[in-house]
A and B are shown apart, each in its own frame.
Chain A
Amino acid sequence: DIQMTQSPASLSASLEEIVTITCQPSQDIGNYLSWYQQKPGKSPQLLIHSATSLADGVPSRFSGSRSGTQYSLKINRLQVEDTGIYYCLQGYSAPWTFGGGTKLELK
């Protein structure tokens, strides 16, 4: 199975701050990387697919990038509604696997 190492595990940031979360797969996954936001008691919501493509309806302050084998989710100008847990997912090879999650809180 492909292991997804996500960091940091938790993060506290201020309003309007720039936040970056990263994921490192244990082997090549091409651009089969997506990002999700999960609020307490809710299902995850797709933010980014194909490493860099913004999902429909997602605010443009969210962006995804890839540098070599490292993938990043960036949130520009953090808003109150951006708190929650963020997960990366590799959909390259079965079983599809998630990163361990990043809990994002407001400072």
Chain B
Amino acid sequence: EVQLQQSGAELVKPGASVKLSCKTSGYTFSNYYMSWLKQMPGQNIEWIGNIYGGNGGTGYNQKFKGKATLTVDKSSSTAYMDLSSLTSEDSAVYFCARTQNWEGCFDYWGQGVMVTVSS
């Protein structure tokens, strides 16, 4: 069974950074891309970028370049996203999602993690 388990909710101060994790199981991590997505309360979903589990190659939404950095640890089948210089606009739920690049879809999702930026 494919599973994506995300780390817990974060409360961080403005200007700080946070690292989110997405631990996977049930499939060959290095054969798939992993995407990260942002959903602000009551808002639409935005694609932040993706990373290939095999070699760590990345693609970013221009809007999130400089804000998000994606990495992987193949040994633990875990994907990470660093968010830097946090502001209130970064308060949102963040999802990781296994990506079927050839079909252009996300077939499995993590449960999401709430990041709250507040002093």
Contacts and interface: CB of A to CB of B under 8 A. Distances in A.
A49 B107 contact: yes
Which DSSP category, helix, strand, loop or mixed, fits chain A's interface?
Answer: loop
A96 B112 contact: no
B45 interface: yes
Interface residues of A, number: 25
B28 interface: no
B104 A95 contact: no
B111 interface: yes
Nearest to B112: A43
Interface string A70-107: 00000000000000000101111011111111000000
Contacts, number: 63
A39 to B, nearest CB: 12
Interface string B60-71: 011100000000
Nearest to B61: A95
Given A43-B95, A43-B110, A91 B45 contact: no
Interface in B34-76: 35, 44-47, 59, 61-63
B44 A91 contact: no
> On chain B, which size bracket covers the interface?
20 to 34
A98 B103 contact: no
B33 to A, nearest CB: 11
A27 to B, nearest CB: 14
A46 B45 CA distance: 14
A46 B100 CA distance: 11
A90 B106 CA distance: 11
A97 B46 CA distance: 7
Contact of B47 (A34, A92, A97, A101): A97
Q: Which of B44, B59, B61, B63 has the most CB of A within 10 A?
A: B44
Interface of B: 35, 44-47, 59, 61-63, 95, 97, 100-101, 103-112
Interface of A: 32-34, 36, 42-46, 49-50, 55, 87, 89-92, 94-101
